[in-house]
Structure 1
Amino acid sequence: MNWDLDNPFVIDIAVTADDIDGLGHANNAVYITWMERCAWRHTQYLGLDLVEYQRLNRAMAVVRHEIDYLASAYENQQLQVATWIVESDQRLKMDRQFQIVRPEDGMTLLRGKTTFVCIELSSGKPKRMPREFIEGYGKALRQPYPLEL
């Protein structure tokens, strides 16, 4: 696969009838769901599951999505969603980059970036990342890739 960066964390997605909108292709909002699913599975892979979030009274919450939709996905297609952690101030903010590819033809359907902020679960307010977040997410930290369209 022609990934934008080396060593992506990748999940497989099957486009279902429920993903299709009135225009006959996967709805734009569904892509965000796929990105969130990939990010969460990567987070779990890094050892930061919901139990750990609750124990630490911290979570990473989305504050911004930047998405470039490059091509459409259709029912019954198989896709791969990749993510990388490309930036972190190791205090409050972290950025993930995403790429969605259709393996049958190698076409990149989406490139995106999501900015997360560490919050305290009990208050919902921004709070400094605990050591476990700095170490866990830090294992996957990459260099940014300039999004070129």
Structure 2
Amino acid sequence: MTFTAAPEHIDELGHVNNAVWITWVQDIAVAHWNAVAPQAQQDAYFWVVVRHEIDYRGNIGPGESVEAETFIPGTPSGARFDRCVEFRNRDGKVIVSAKTTWALLDRASGRLCRVPTDVAAPFVG
């Protein structure tokens, strides 16, 4: 996905605020889930973030864009699943990278549940 810094994304230092990067991490994660998971799984489960780790090696200013790529680095552990996101500037350099841990909840009960194999399968390679 491509994200472009709008005026409301810019902080007093003149670049994208840290909270905006977190929003973009969530936006691409949700888009990935919605694009890959069958509708029946989307109806049965939802994900919540339980941890963010973000490394900043650069930033962008107003009107500049980044290309974001997300991937799953491994298999789930119980209800938890790690996801990575890399944001590249126009030169292709990774300027922000994130590793987030998500937990799967059953929509009907609202409780944590172990990630079923069929839910994980399309995301792990």
TM bracket, shorter-chain basis = 0.7 to 0.9
The answer to whether the Cα contact below 8 Å between 2:53 and 2:99 also exists between their aligned partners in 1 is yes
Q: Secondary structure at the match of 1:41?
A: helix
**Once the 2 structures are TM-superposed, how far is the Cα of residue 41 of structure 1 from its aligned partner?**
0.9
Q: Paired residue for 1:101?
A: 88
**Once the 2 structures are TM-superposed, how far is the Cα of residue 47 of structure 1 from its aligned partner?**
2.7
Change (3 A) 1:136 1:121: closer
Whole-Å separation in 2 of the counterparts to 1:129 and 1:88:
10
The answer to whether the Cα contact below 8 Å between 1:46 and 1:137 also exists between their aligned partners in 2 is no
The answer to whether the Cα contact below 8 Å between 1:69 and 1:111 also exists between their aligned partners in 2 is yes
- Give the TM-score normalised by the residue count of structure 1: 0.74
User: Equivalent of 1:39, from 29, 49, 52?
Assistant: 29
Amino acid at match of 1:114: T
Residue 82 (str. 1) matches residue 82 (str. 2): no
Q: Which runs of 4+ in 1 moved over 6 A?
A: none
Residue 114 (str. 1) matches residue 97 (str. 2): no
- Give the TM-score normalised by the residue count of structure 2: 0.87
Residue 65 (str. 1) matches residue 52 (str. 2): yes
CA RMSD between the two structures: 1.9
User: Number of paired residues?
Assistant: 125
Q: Paired residue for 1:26?
A: 16
**Once the 2 structures are TM-superposed, how far is the Cα of residue 123 of structure 1 from its aligned partner?**
4.4
Q: Secondary structure at the match of 2:8?
A: helix
The answer to whether the Cα contact below 8 Å between 2:76 and 2:120 also exists between their aligned partners in 1 is no
